[in-house]
């Protein structure tokens, strides 16, 4: 292959590194006005009165929005397929505040400073309501109810009991878990807790809107889901889709956080009401408190193991905290089963039982790993415990119990996204090689169970095996359009949304490979709802697999079109033609691409060489991965450090190996920070008290451990050039791998994130 | 009020508000490569070189630096003439979303001005004020190390 499998330079990277590329905040328009929000200082309150008269008197205040002057349109902010598997429980501005950071009002003013001043002059009288902060108590009788309005519901039939603070429920059984546990030689029951997490993409959420020359609303926004933005804004603003154009500029990272639609319609409404371009840029503190987070989860694992090393029963019971609104309340929960249980596919008795509850805390949402991350923290540790129970090396335990090529899992069919899943056979799996190569790299055999001691410091190694998916089968769709230009170059217009991942480059590589041209000959335009075909957007590890195949199909059609024109030009049958080096060749002759295009556009039977293609998938082939961590723990203080971290990943064909490695490295470090240093801290009123990068600690380069990524090539027959997904899976590893390594070093098990020196110290003291 | 600044080797007379930060001044004057990631001096996306030192421009009041020199990302290299740090970051695959990249380039550029042959730890220390959520830093460090090699080969 000429382009696929090569680490070509990311096509926008030079422009980005010289500061040329434009993000939403780099667009400004004459007459632009600025938005600031007033946020609720109370976790649960009813607005009794709102008085904006003093704010309106300030020179430069243009407009103010609040619950009394906006339409009450129930919707979900989750940018998912339609109808969404999330409850319609949010409105643009409400009279009930459900968390500290909920939106009270918004001001449009001539300058940001005037908007801030106006915000401070809005007088709000609240009736403070009882708040629930402990999600384990949300369902208790007598607990305050967050969503008592009778019209709140899912747009699809999903169990929803807001009167009990229940935002979603999932229950599936394979075999009979209770019977399986009773039959097993050894029984396990362990409960784990995962915590809130911030996406912490470097570019804050924001949007700029304006009316174009035809009075259509143009929305330039930091989003992962431009087409969902258009649909949700049309619904909430009650204007036709044809009146809206959404443009995705460069996006400064997303990780799921920008799969939410909650600012675009506010800016859009101001623009519609005033005719003024309107811009909002969230401050970092606002991003922390008022955007979206990783859902915290309590995960109880109940399992049964036989002496021969076979897992006989495995149940995951999950309680998930979605905060004040139910964004992704069902699907993050269900992915805690659907992306985890199939890994150990031969267990005869399995259960996934999950409940999502509301609390008066920040709102959960999509976050890289999407429920699997939470669940693997628990399952990954119980796998380690089970292997230790029967003195089996956990590497062999995984090899014995995990899914292989040609095998399936009943979970694939039973547990989908808002509906049943699809039957699926695994056609590519490099997990055993991931285990072997990772073990070699970390030095497993010389370090496992050795507890190498140096003074007060003890070393240990731990590991975990993982899988994820590649897109949502029979739901996610991506489409591509291509046309040929006179110099033999091609435009590739895709709805697929590059948010920094490099998908423009990867999709360009797939087009270039299919047409035998260089990446430089492909001009990529992504995500403008007026100019590119539909794509669900950047989520669910779908872009390379789903949108990539759309591009491949589209390029194949272009090839056919080129052959048709060449055949006419040379009077040679199409069957005798081949593509090579930007030429159509046949025995005894050749035609340059540019001459073919010039002929097509200007000479005879004129036409545009062009094509479009859509793609959905019947399967969601899992990438697989094995992660290894070596830690050194100070037994006197509990302090510990990561000596080395290894992630071996089977993502099928890596279309661009460097970019694939970059996805793994970024996800691993994101997972490391979340497992070790990140923590939402709340005061007794439910307010986050560390909403800045000074106190919410994410790693810098100086904190980086020795990190090694190993790509293990396999070939996935259903993916473009053998590719599967890579972007999410690696974030699931650090929590369980490090917890297992800590156990290997000092023999204590930490059941809650983050993994801190304090927790280790306390447990060491108890020992 | 008016201040004089030398920005990327050009003298400019700029009209500013007294409380304006250097980040605001630069972005208002179309130096949009300077990014705002936090506004609290914690992330490094707004780094510029003030005289000879890398500073978070969100933490500098423009009024306090009248007459001084500022170098922004626009003054380091261009699409046609990129600096070798920029070239090496591109080659290493160190640019994902790219929002932090201008700040990373400024940190590396300032380091290499002062220390032509930094150790790996010195490179990491120089980047300690830059947050990147996409890359995990591995390829950023690779790129800067390659830039160091190229500079010392010159």
pLDDT digits 0-9 by tens, A510-535: 999 999 999 999 999 999 999 999 99
pLDDT for A491 equals: 98
Q: Chain B contact for A110, CB < 8 A?
A: no
A619 Rama class: left (phi>0) / alpha (psi -120 to 50) / beta: beta
CB contacts of A702 in chain B (<8 Å) are 124-125, 127-128
Q: Chain B contact for A91, CB < 8 A?
A: no
CB contacts of A281 in chain B (<8 Å) are 36
Residue A767: pLDDT band (50, 70, 90) is confident
Each residue of A657-674: pLDDT tens digit?
999 999 999 999 999 999
Q: Where are the domains of chain B?
A: 2-75, 84-153
CB contacts of A17 in chain B (<8 Å) are 82, 86, 89-90, 95, 98, 101-102, 105
Domain for residue A152, yes or no? Answer: no
pLDDT (mean) for A716-722: 98
Superfamily of domain B2-75 in the CATH hierarchy: Beta-grasp domain (3.10.20.30)
> A482 and A453, same structural domain?
no
CA A654 to chain centre: 19
How does DSSP assign A416-441, residue by residue?
Answer: -SSS-----B-----HHHHHHHHHHH
Residue pair A174/A414 in contact by the 8 Å Cβ criterion: yes
The last residue of one of the domains, among A255, A281, A307, is: A281
Residue A494 has pLDDT above 80, yes or no: yes
H helix intervals, A33-173: 53-56, 112-121
CATH number at A597 reads 3.30.365.10
CB contacts of A16 in chain B (<8 Å) are 95, 97-98, 101
pLDDT (mean) for A449-474: 96
- What does the DSSP 8-state code read for residue A532? S
Which residue in the set B92, B123, B134 is minimally distant from A666, CB to CB?
B134
The last residue of one of the domains, among A252, A281, A310, is: A281
Each residue of B24-54: pLDDT tens digit?
999 999 999 999 999 999 999 999 999 999 9
Spatial distance between the Cα atoms of A295 and B34, rounded to a whole number of angstroms = 33
| Structural domain range at position A576 | 476-615
Q: Which residue on chain B is closest to A20 by alpha carbon?
A: B33
> A748 and A663, same structural domain?
yes
Residue A420 has pLDDT above 90, yes or no: no
Contact A499 B97 (CB under 8 A): yes
Spatial distance between the Cα atoms of A191 and A335, rounded to a whole number of angstroms = 18
B149 Cβ neighbours under 8 A, 6+ residues apart: none
Residue A296: pLDDT band (50, 70, 90) is very high
> A645 and A627, same structural domain?
yes
pLDDT (mean) for A56-80: 98
> A607 and A644, same structural domain?
no
pLDDT for B154 equals: 75
Domain for residue A545, yes or no? Answer: yes
CATH of B84-153, one of 3.40.50.880, 3.40.640.10, 3.40.50.300, 1.10.150.120: 1.10.150.120
Residue pair A416/A474 in contact by the 8 Å Cβ criterion: no
Contact A200 B133 (CB under 8 A): yes
Spatial distance between the Cα atoms of A507 and A513, rounded to a whole number of angstroms = 10
> A434 and A377, same structural domain?
yes
Q: Chain B contact for A709, CB < 8 A?
A: yes
Chain B interface test: which of A501, A662, A669, A701 (most B C-beta within 10 Å): A701
Residue located via tokens 């259903």 = A718
> A334 and A250, same structural domain?
no
The last residue of one of the domains, among A217, A247, A281, is: A281
Question: Which of 27-66 (B) contact A at CB < 8 A?
Answer: 31-40, 42-43, 45
> A742 and A649, same structural domain?
yes
Q: What is the percentage of chain A residues whose pLDDT exceeds 70?
A: 100
Each residue of A197-245: pLDDT tens digit?
999 999 999 999 999 999 999 999 999 999 999 999 999 999 999 999 9
Which residue in the set A662, A701, A707 is minimally distant from B93, CB to CB?
A662
Chain A interface test: which of B32, B38, B44, B93 (most A C-beta within 10 Å): B93
Domain for residue A145, yes or no? Answer: no
> A297 and A310, same structural domain?
yes
**Nearest CA distance, A400 vs chain B (angstrom):** 33
Which residue in the set B74, B93, B131 is minimally distant from A7, CB to CB?
B93
Which residue in the set A202, A283, A662 is minimally distant from B100, CB to CB?
A202
Residue A341: pLDDT band (50, 70, 90) is very high
CATH number at A222 reads 3.90.1170.50
Domain count, chain A: 3
B141 Cβ neighbours under 8 A, 6+ residues apart: A701, A704, B120, B123, B124, B127
Task: pLDDT tens for chain B, 154 residues: list them.
Answer: 999 999 999 999 999 999 999 999 999 999 999 999 999 999 999 999 999 999 999 999 999 999 999 999 999 999 999 999 999 999 999 999 999 999 999 999 999 999 999 999 999 999 999 999 999 999 999 999 999 999 988 7
Domain for residue A187, yes or no? Answer: no
Q: Which residue on chain A is closest to B26 by alpha carbon?
A: A26
Pull the structure tokens for residue A633: 């723990």
Spatial distance between the Cα atoms of A111 and A595, rounded to a whole number of angstroms = 54
Each residue of A537-558: pLDDT tens digit?
999 999 999 999 999 999 999 9
Inter-axis angle of helices A372-389 and A394-401, to 10 degrees? 110
Q: A521-560: b or e for each residue (b if 16 or more CB lie within 10 Å)? A: bbebebbbbeebbebbbbbbbbbbbbbbbbbbbbbebbbe
Q: Chain B contact for A533, CB < 8 A?
A: no
Residue pair A496/A543 in contact by the 8 Å Cβ criterion: yes
Give the CA distances from residue A63 to residues A108, A114, A119, A294, A639, in Å, rounded to whole numbers and listed in that order: 5, 12, 12, 34, 53
Q: Chain A contact for B142, CB < 8 A?
A: no
> A355 and A215, same structural domain?
no
Pull the structure tokens for residue B26: 């630069």
pLDDT (mean) for A123-135: 98
Q: Which residue on chain B is closest to A500 by alpha carbon?
A: B97
Sheet holding A478-484, edge to edge: A522-526, A490-494, A478-484, A610-615
Residue A418: pLDDT band (50, 70, 90) is confident
**If you count residue pairs, one on A and one on B, with CB atoms under 8 Å apart, how many are there?**
186
Phi first, then psi: give them for residue B15, nearest 5 degrees: -90, 120
Question: Which of 284-303 (A) contact B at CB < 8 A?
Answer: 284
> A432 and A382, same structural domain?
yes
Residue A751: pLDDT band (50, 70, 90) is very high
Chain A interface test: which of B74, B98, B126 (most A C-beta within 10 Å): B98
pLDDT (mean) for A281-288: 98
> A63 and A46, same structural domain?
yes
Contact B97 A699 (CB under 8 A): no
User: Rounded to two decimals, what is the model's pTM?
Assistant: 0.98
> A301 and A364, same structural domain?
yes
**Nearest CA distance, A351 vs chain B (angstrom):** 35
Q: Chain B contact for A203, CB < 8 A?
A: yes
Contact B99 A698 (CB under 8 A): no
CB contacts of B137 in chain A (<8 Å) are 665, 669, 699-701, 704
């Amino acid at each position: 292959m000429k382009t696929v499998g090569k680490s070509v330079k990311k096509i926008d990277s030079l422009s980005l590194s010289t500061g040329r590329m434009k993000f939403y905040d780099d667009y400004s328009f004459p007459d632009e006005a600025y938005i600031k929000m007033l946020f609720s200082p109370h976790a649960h309150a009813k607005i009794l009165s709102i008085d904006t008269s003093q704010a309106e008197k300030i020179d430069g205040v243009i407009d103010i929005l609040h619950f009394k002057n906006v339409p009450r349109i129930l919707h979900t902010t989750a940018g998912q397929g339609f109808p969404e598997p999330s409850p319609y429980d949010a409105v643009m501005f409400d009279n009930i505040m459900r968390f500290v950071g909920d939106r009270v009002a918004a001001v449009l003013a001539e300058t940001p400073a005037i908007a801030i001043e106006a915000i401070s002059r809005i007088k709000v009288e609240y009736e403070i309501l009882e708040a629930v902060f402990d999600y384990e108590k949300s369902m208790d009788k007598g607990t305050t109810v967050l969503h008592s309005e009778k019209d709140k519901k899912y747009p699809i039939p999903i169990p929803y009991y807001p009167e009990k603070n229940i935002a979603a429920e999932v229950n599936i059984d394979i075999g009979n878990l209770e019977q399986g546990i009773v039959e097993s030689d050894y029984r396990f029951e362990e409960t784990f807790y995962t915590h809130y997490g911030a996406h912490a993409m470097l570019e804050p959420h924001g949007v700029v809107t304006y009316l174009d020359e035809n009075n259509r609303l143009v929305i330039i926004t930091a989003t992962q889901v431009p087409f969902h933005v258009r649909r949700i804004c049309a619904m909430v603003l009650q204007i036709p889709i044809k009146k809206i154009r959404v443009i995705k500029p460069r996006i400064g990272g997303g990780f799921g956080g920008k799969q939410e639609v909650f600012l675009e319609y506010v800016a859009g409404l101001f623009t519609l009401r005033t005719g003024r371009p309107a811009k909002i840029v969230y401050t970092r503190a606002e991003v922390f408190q008022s955007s979206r987070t990783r859902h915290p989860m309590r995960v109880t694992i109940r399992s049964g193991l036989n002496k021969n090393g076979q897992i006989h029963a495995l149940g995951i019971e999950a309680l998930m905290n979605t905060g004040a609104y139910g964004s992704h309340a069902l699907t993050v929960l269900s992915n805690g089963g659907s992306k985890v249980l199939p890994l150990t596919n031969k267990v005869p008795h399995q259960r996934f039982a999950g409940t999502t509850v509301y609390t008066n805390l920040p709102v959960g949402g999509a976050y890289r790993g999407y429920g699997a991350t939470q669940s693997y923290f628990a399952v990954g540790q119980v796998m380690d415990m089970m292997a230790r129970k029967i003195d089996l090396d956990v590497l062999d335990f995984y090899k014995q119990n995990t899914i292989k090529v040609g095998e399936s899992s009943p979970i694939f069919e039973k547990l989908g996204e808002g509906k049943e899943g699809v039957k699926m056979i695994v056609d590519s799996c490099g997990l055993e090689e991931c285990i072997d190569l990772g073990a070699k790299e970390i030095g497993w055999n010389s370090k496992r169970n050795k507890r190498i001691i140096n003074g007060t410091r003890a070393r240990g190694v731990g590991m975990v095996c993982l899988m994820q998916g590649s897109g949502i089968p029979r739901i996610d769709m991506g489409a591509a359009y291509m046309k040929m230009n006179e110099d033999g170059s091609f435009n590739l217009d895709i709805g697929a949304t590059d948010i920094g991942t490099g998908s423009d480059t990867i999709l360009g590589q797939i087009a270039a490979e299919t047409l035998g041209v260089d990446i430089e000959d492909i001009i990529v335009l992504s995500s403008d709802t007026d100019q590119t075909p539909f794509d669900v957007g950047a989520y669910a590890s779908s872009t390379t697999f789903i949108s990539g195949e759309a591009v491949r199909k589209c390029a194949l059609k272009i090839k056919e079109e080129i052959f048709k024109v060449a055949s006419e030009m040379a009077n040679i049958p199409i069957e005798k033609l081949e593509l090579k080096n930007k030429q159509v060749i046949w025995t005894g002759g050749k035609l340059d691409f540019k001459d073919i295009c010039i002929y097509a556009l200007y000479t005879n039977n004129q036409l545009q060489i062009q094509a479009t293609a859509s793609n959905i998938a019947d399967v969601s082939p899992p990438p697989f991965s094995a992660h290894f961590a070596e830690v050194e723990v100070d037994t006197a203080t509990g302090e510990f450090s990561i000596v080395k971290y290894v992630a071996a990943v089977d993502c099928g064909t890596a279309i661009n190996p460097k970019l694939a490695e970059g996805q793994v490295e970024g996800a691993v470090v994101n997972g490391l920070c979340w497992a070790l240093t990140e923590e939402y801290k709340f005061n007794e009123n439910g307010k986050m008290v560390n909403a800045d990068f000074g106190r919410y600690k994410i790693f810098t380069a100086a904190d980086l451990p020795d990190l090694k990524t190993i790509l293990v090539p396999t070939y996935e027959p259903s993916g473009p050039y053998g590719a599967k997904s890579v972007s999410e899976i690696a974030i699931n590893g650090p929590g369980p791998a490090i917890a297992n390594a800590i156990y290997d070093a000092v023999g204590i098990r930490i059941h809650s994130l983050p993994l801190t020196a304090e927790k280790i110290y306390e447990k060491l003291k108890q020992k | 009020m008016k201040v004089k600044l030398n920005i990327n080797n050009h003298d400019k007379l700029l009209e500013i508000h007294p409380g304006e930060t250097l980040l605001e001044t630069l972005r208002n004057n179309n130096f949009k490569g300077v990014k705002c990631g936090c506004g609290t001096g914690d992330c490094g996306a707004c780094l510029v070189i003030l005289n000879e030192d890398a500073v978070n421009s969100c933490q500098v009041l423009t009024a306090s630096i009248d007459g001084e020199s500022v170098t922004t990302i626009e003054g380091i290299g261009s699409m046609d003439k990129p600096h070798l740090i920029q070239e090496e970051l591109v080659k290493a695959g160190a640019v994902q979303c790219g929002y932090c990249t201008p700040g990373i380039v400024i940190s590396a550029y300032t380091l290499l001005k002062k220390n032509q042959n930094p150790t790996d730890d010195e490179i990491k220390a120089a980047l300690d004020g830059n947050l990147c959520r996409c890359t995990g830093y591995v390829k950023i460090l690779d790129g800067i190390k390659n830039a160091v090699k190229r500079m010392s080969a010159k």
